[in-house]
Structure 1
């Protein structure tokens, strides 16, 4: 299933393949630094064996379920309806029957890599071997070597960042930090979106809980102080970044009176859509201000219309495969933030996008001037080999390699982390091989860049 072996994902030309393989050897066994992802820390704290192959590789992976749904498979058939559980063999057999549909997709490559590298399954998945492969994977999952902590070490993960609610007490992270049997580093990430958006469901109740937890008054200043208190709590537990998932990266600097009026309206639920947009823009500005003061790296993940299909959201909840990208604009939206904070020493702002048009037009030029701005790695719909190559081509000639963030896997699928990072390493090796072959970069410099992309750059960008 991992066709190509040593040369997979490298250029077709033999001389470039050999150069790429040589460069990939520089980092093939380098530790994984994962400074942004969504793995539940309880997975490692509890170290409970994975339940079954379908739960592990299908049911919770919206990359997989969305494509099967598009092929006519209902989400309940895939086990997404908790009220009506299914035999886990059912979604596995469905995946096997539709395996040909994943040819050429990133998710197909990752699953094939996982099956081969972790379970020794190298035959093409299909209806005729679905049960045999299921049994092989299920048996392996019952062994100690396939428990979460054993895999953490096997994957050579040096750092894993989770994504956490501001009111999380982070006791799970503390358990891991205090456990002498666990030698890894797992850090929380401050994710305040639901506390900054007046149109988010339950916003007022959530903010009142935040104020109550911190003993702050129900004023705008009290609200800002409460957020700052929780950021401090996260920093005390090892957090290195604050992540912001927004529809548009609008930033606005309001005067205190206007901010207070909007905050009061938001708590009372009497804010219209236009004012909610202004409030969100001011709060993204405030998040940057806080990052200049407490040092948390600010990452921005914009441009996705969450839960595009309301009936699916109502029945199955969020993160079920129907989040769809929209156009993104950074240059004008970020100008207030960057005029205020873009040259503040120590401020790090990592900009991501799923709108490929902004890479060369906006993000690379911004990163080519502002010392605070870094180019986020291809994300979500773009964390795939061809999109990664397009991204490198779009940003490198303007900003070089050293204004990028290093690879971000952004995944809930724990077993896919090594495959995703190796994909990035292979793509970068191919890009650098071409530059060497064209005489644009020397081989010693290319070797250094390969190592820095995997090790030095993510450490510097995320202040590790």
Structure 2
């Protein structure tokens, strides 16, 4: 690494200032730095890889327009989403000059100082584009040209980058009604990249989801089962899960505001389902049905072996004006206070000791780490705690996670890392931050005489690679 690179992106970044701990961390890091990437949960579009000639577009399309981590920060400082080229639902005017969008981004790049977004972007700039200086308004256009030239080069396309990134497995997140045509095209192409779907039924399971009734019609079409009542609804979901599993899926994914689980009778569930079909369901109906369906999804996972993931605690689309003009997932999702002990008791009492069942819990409420999640994972064999998620996918978030969970749950009841991103080029940088944060924490245990160096090496390998592979039951993971 050159002197300019070292100043821009130091070799010892993220490691604590204590000299002994830093030396141990660097030694551990060199052992795990080049391990393959296991990416068991994320939101990269499979169509990127199904077309061997796919490209990423302009630098603004690559870094800014699709990334709510980027544009939410600028929006918070008064930059309109229209000025950043984010498409409007009504097709209204937004900035089309991608150089202007990039200039705005560069002039506001200082806003990201100290954030994980800054670290991810700096590493992407350096590793993918050879940039060794901070982005500013003054050098914006020169850097735009440098990135644009690289984006247009033949080797800079999704499939070659997948191989360059040393990704062993990449899982996408796909609606229950998805035909998985891109996954099928990938399977038929002969390309060796391992990309697998993940079954996400939120749009048909959560009655309050936008367009729920239309999604039920689509579920009927893709499953060839007329979903006219609750019993046929369950049959259709089971059919779709079997299809996803046949296409290589290892897991399901579920989002809910709360972790509430409860079993309804078939009669109660069908009554709610019928009211929803008529458009007469209430908020209470929706909450009870989601709680019941989490139980049903756990039952199905115990039967078909798909790992069940639950992401809890986000109030989606808090800014109603942004949601109305630009749609969902535009940087206005805000964490909620969440609890788990009572809420998960029905599910864990039914399936928590079933050896066929595996549950990974993610939360946006850090206060639950030591109070609830660590004790639960430290008892129920089926439960694993997912890595710091979303707002806490950061150095501080990771340090807090390790400090609050491991003493009670143990490291091996955690799920390793997943990048959970739509931004495919950021995946290596996200994993690198996790690997550095992990070994820095482990090095602190060595420095204080809590674990031996041999223990530390095993723990570092587990956090970087082994835990994720074992949690999601990928082949040869044990």
TM-score tier by shorter-chain length is: over 0.9
* 2:87 corresponds to: 81
Q: Is 1:9 aligned with 2:14?
A: yes
Could you tell me how far apart the structure 2 residues matched to 1:53 and 1:208 are?
Answer: 39
Structure 1 residues 288-327: Cα deviation after superposition (integer angstroms, max 9, x where no partner): 1110001110000010011111111111111111111111
Could you tell me how far apart the structure 2 residues matched to 1:90 and 1:366 are?
Answer: 51
User: Structure 2: which 5+ runs fail to align?
Assistant: none
Structure 1 residues 7-44: Cα deviation after superposition (integer angstroms, max 9, x where no partner): 01111111111100000111110000000000001111
SS of the residue corresponding to residue 145 of structure 1 reads: coil
Structure 1 residues 404-428: Cα deviation after superposition (integer angstroms, max 9, x where no partner): 1010100000010000001000000
Could you tell me how far apart the structure 1 residues matched to 2:454 and 2:236 are?
Answer: 50
Of 15, 31, 36, 1:31 maps to: 36
Q: Is 1:110 aligned with 2:116?
A: no
Q: Is 1:183 aligned with 2:192?
A: yes
- Residues 73-82 or 205-214, more deviating: 205-214
SS of the residue corresponding to residue 159 of structure 1 reads: strand
Q: State TM-score, norm by structure 1.
A: 0.98
Q: Is 1:314 aligned with 2:324?
A: yes
Could you tell me how far apart the structure 1 residues matched to 2:461 and 2:209 are?
Answer: 42
Could you tell me how far apart the structure 2 residues matched to 1:89 and 1:358 are?
Answer: 44
* 1:411 corresponds to: 421
Of 122, 142, 152, 1:132 maps to: 142
Could you tell me how far apart the structure 1 residues matched to 2:166 and 2:173 are?
Answer: 20
Of 41, 46, 53, 1:41 maps to: 46
Q: State TM-score, norm by structure 2.
A: 0.95
Q: Is 1:367 aligned with 2:377?
A: yes
Could you tell me how far apart the structure 2 residues matched to 1:316 and 1:259 are?
Answer: 34
**CA-atom RMSD in angstroms:** 1.2
Q: Verify the 8 A CA contact 1:37 1:162 in the aligned structure 2.
A: yes
Distance change (3 Å), C-alpha of 1:95 and 1:462: same
Could you tell me how far apart the structure 1 residues matched to 2:209 and 2:347 are?
Answer: 23
SS of the residue corresponding to residue 330 of structure 2 reads: coil
Q: CA deviation at 1:171?
A: 1.6
Structure 1 residues 61-83: Cα deviation after superposition (integer angstroms, max 9, x where no partner): 10110000001100000001353
* 2:440 corresponds to: 430
Q: Is 1:193 aligned with 2:199?
A: no
Q: CA deviation at 1:4?
A: 5.1
* 2:23 corresponds to: 18
* 2:239 corresponds to: 229
Runs of 4+ in 1 over 3 A off after TM superposition: 1-4
- Residues 200-209 or 324-333, more deviating: 200-209
SS of the residue corresponding to residue 253 of structure 2 reads: strand
Q: Verify the 8 A CA contact 2:362 2:385 in the aligned structure 1.
A: yes
Could you tell me how far apart the structure 1 residues matched to 2:425 and 2:409 are?
Answer: 33
SS of the residue corresponding to residue 83 of structure 2 reads: helix
How many residues are treated as equivalent by the alignment? 463
